[in-house]
């Protein structure tokens, strides 16, 4: 097999990234839970959906712009929240944030980021209309949750993205085999400066991760969303929904947007593919909240399929890490540009000049 030196698609970026990452970091990023059935099915779901293009349509100009929660995007794409990005590159989330903002995309910063809420926000402040959301969990220690929300609001984040599919951590067997730990020098940047945390280990980094895992609250219910929304005026995005009844309930409890997601196949193995769940959830929400989706997106045609089913935008995760590992900020920017070019070509070949023209009539389900 010929060595890849200049990737021309996201799958080639993944292959090249494997030569830039330690085995522990690669397995942490690439793995799913259990037998990784859901991880594989996220990709297979897009392959099951076929396209039905229209012909003789004027596509001399293609417009990829849209908005999410009233904020403009240059294309219908946000970067999903992903932990420990400094495992891929020393600049980590700062490089990702710069690439996202310069391309006019949204970025969702993970609670488990290795660069701080404030430092990532400072990157965004250098660009007009940079869209940054903060992802969080409602922890057992409500004081920790409150402190993170207050930091995000003060730093200028535009929404809170609550992950609801992790009452406990999924069984990620590659990480267990590797006895995953953060390398020396990396830290959970959003936890180190919060006073009052009782770290259960002498080693700060591994102790903070242990603390975080213990803070996941299996007793969390829908009623806790009201408390979360009382902490700031930021709109609430609920991430991790796979059922139409849960989507309706999220709207009833105040969610302004829903991310249809199975956590990249990293939580419940055997869960439905995100794209399959999207088909059920969009009509159930019926325009009362914006619906986004993540999981398995690797091509511009995948974005088009998600939009045709009814998503307002998509989130992409692992390929951003591959770009980050290969080339830092430049690598992330190149990954984004590849998707943008692919989406542009796909729309032209489908007979769509604007995103608003994309609907389910362009799809065929096997």
Strand, coil or helix: 285: helix
Euclidean distance between CA atoms 221 and 226, whole angstroms = 10
Q: From the candidates 20, 89, 139, 263, which is the catalytic residue?
A: 263
| Catalytic annotation present for 263 | yes
User: How many Cβ atoms sit within 10 Å of the Cβ of residue 129?
Assistant: 11
How far is the C-alpha of 185 from the C-alpha of 340, rounded, in Å?
35
Tell me how far apart the alpha carbons of residues 305 and 357 are, in angstroms, rounded to a whole number.
13
| 309 closest CA partner among 9, 41, 45, 40 | 45
In sequence order, what are the residues at sequence separation of 6 or more whose Cβ sits closer than 8 angstroms to the Cβ of residue 286? none
Q: Who's near 156: CB < 8 A, 6+ residues apart? A: 121, 124, 125, 132
DSSP string, 152-212: HHHHT-SEEEEE-S-SS----HHHHHHT--PPTT---TTTTT-TT---SSSSHHHHHHHHH
Residues annotated catalytic, as ranges: 263
């Amino acid at each position: 097999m010929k060595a890849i030196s200049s990737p021309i698609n996201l799958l080639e970026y993944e292959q090249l990234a494997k030569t830039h990452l330690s085995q522990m970091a690669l397995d942490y990023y690439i793995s799913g839970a259990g037998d990784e059935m859901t991880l594989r099915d996220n990709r297979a779901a897009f392959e099951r959906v076929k396209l039905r293009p229209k012909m003789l349509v004027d596509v001399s100009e293609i417009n990829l712009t849209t908005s999410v929660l009233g904020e403009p995007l240059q294309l219908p794409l946000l970067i999903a929240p992903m932990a420990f990005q400094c495992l891929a590159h020393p600049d980590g989330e700062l490089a990702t944030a710069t690439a996202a903002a310069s391309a006019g995309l949204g970025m969702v910063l993970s609670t488990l980021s290795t660069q701080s809420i404030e430092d990532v926000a400072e990157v965004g402040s250098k660009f007009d209309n940079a869209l940054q959301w903060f992802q969080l969990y409602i922890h057992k220690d409500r004081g920790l949750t409150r402190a993170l929300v207050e930091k995000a609001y003060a730093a200028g984040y535009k929404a809170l993205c609550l992950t609801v599919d992790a009452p406990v951590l999924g069984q990620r067997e590659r990480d267990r085999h590797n006895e995953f730990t953060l390398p020396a020098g990396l830290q959970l940047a959003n936890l180190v400066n919060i006073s009052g945390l009782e770290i259960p280990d002498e080693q700060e980094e591994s102790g903070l991760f242990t603390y975080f895992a213990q803070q996941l609250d299996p007793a969390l219910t829908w009623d806790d969303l009201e408390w979360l929304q009382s902490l700031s005026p930021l709109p609430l995005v609920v991430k991790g929904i796979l059922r139409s009844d849960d989507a309706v309930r999220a709207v009833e409890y105040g969610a302004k947007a829903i991310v249809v997601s199975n956590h990249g196949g990293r939580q419940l193995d055997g869960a439905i593919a995100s794209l399959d769940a999207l088909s059920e959830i969009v009509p159930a929400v019926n325009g009362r909240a914006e619906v986004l989706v993540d999981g398995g997106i690797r091509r511009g045609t995948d974005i088009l399929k998600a939009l045709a089913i009814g998503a307002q935008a998509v989130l992409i995760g692992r390929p951003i890490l591959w770009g980050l590992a290969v080339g830092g900020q430049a690598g992330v920017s190149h990954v984004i540009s590849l998707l943008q070019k692919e989406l542009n070509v796909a729309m032209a070949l489908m007979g769509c000049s604007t995103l608003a023209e994309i609907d389910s009539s362009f799809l065929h389900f096997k």
